[in-house]
Amino acid sequence: MARSIWMNGTLVDPNDAKVSVFDHGLLYGDGCFEGIRVYGGHVFKLQAHVERMQASARRIHLEPPYSDSELAAAIEETVQANRIEDGYVRVVYTRGKGSLGLSPFSCTEPACIIIADTITLYPEEMYTQGMPVVIAQRPRIPIECLDPQIKSLNYLNNILAKVEAIDAGVHEAIMLNTQGKVAECTGDNIFLVKDGEIITPDTAAGMLHGITRQFVMEEVAPACGYTVTEREVERDELFTADEIFLTGTAAEVIGVSSIDGTPIGSGVVGPITRQLTEQFRGMVTSLSASPVEQ
């Protein structure tokens, strides 16, 4: 089915969803985006995603073209127009049409694009058998160079690390920061389990403060009787972990079976990861059935 795209206040056919070749989003990756899940026709953690989107825009000195409530309503409208029950929403702000120069202030009007569709990020069997990953040679851009809380349209750092994963025949790569500490993956946050303790790198490592990561830390793990420790994580700790799992809007919760060919734990999805995955799926299902907007 052809999807309707929401562009600057209007739902249009995908063939009519166009941006100018002079748009700074295209020319310079100048803009920001959000990825959001839909469960049972309800947009998951909508307010949190809207707030992060607006904050990303303001961090790059792009005044959001819509208020929080207007953007939330536009997202809901797009989901309903496309009859998405279980799927994914991509919200994009571009700086808009400008000159060929770098200055963002030549762009007079930002653009907003909303796409709602279905998504499958990883093969389903990996959720039961585990996913092999590698450690990328390319480090994460330092915080001092680019605030990782900006969900920028320029994902080249992540893309080049993703290419390393693809070249190695796997779906994902772990990225270290320039000090060699564990930061995140190309599109997911990372957790490890050691002696029953769940650990994740703190945001000082230089990674996106993921909304699914936060949901797992604040709601899913406590529901299973666990707390999560945020701290600096060394590369070598990954190889001695009992379990490793990743979280992300599209990925949800997925266990890691090996890193660089070295099995993690028993080499399959561990019991705590399985418990968290089941709890996560149960909670998002119950939340989507609730009349309260998430």
Whether 97 is a known active-site residue: answer no
What are residue 159's phi and psi, to 5 degrees? -65, -40
227-265, pLDDT tens digit by residue? 999 999 999 999 999 999 999 999 999 999 999 999 999
Q: How confident is the model at residue 2 (pLDDT cuts 50, 70, 90)?
A: low
Q: Residues 164, 173: contact at Cβ < 8 Å? A: yes
Kindly state the percentage of the chain with pLDDT values over 70: 97
> For 174-193, what is each residue's pLDDT tens digit?
999 999 999 999 999 999 99
For residue 293, name the pLDDT band (cuts at 50, 70, 90). very low
Structure tokens given for 266 = 């028993």
pLDDT confidence tier of residue 292, bands split at 50, 70 and 90: very low
pLDDT for residue 3: 84
Q: Bigger pLDDT: 292 or 237?
A: 237
204-217: average pLDDT = 93
Residue 117, token pair as written in the block:
């569709």
Give me the domains of the chain, ranges plus CATH numbers.
5-117 (3.30.470.10), 126-288 (3.20.10.10)
Helix (H, G, I), strand (E, B) or coil at 227: coil
Please pick, among 97, 151, 162, 181, the residue that the annotation labels catalytic.
151
User: Rounded to an integer, what distance in angstroms lies between the CA atom of residue 68 and that of residue 225?
Assistant: 34
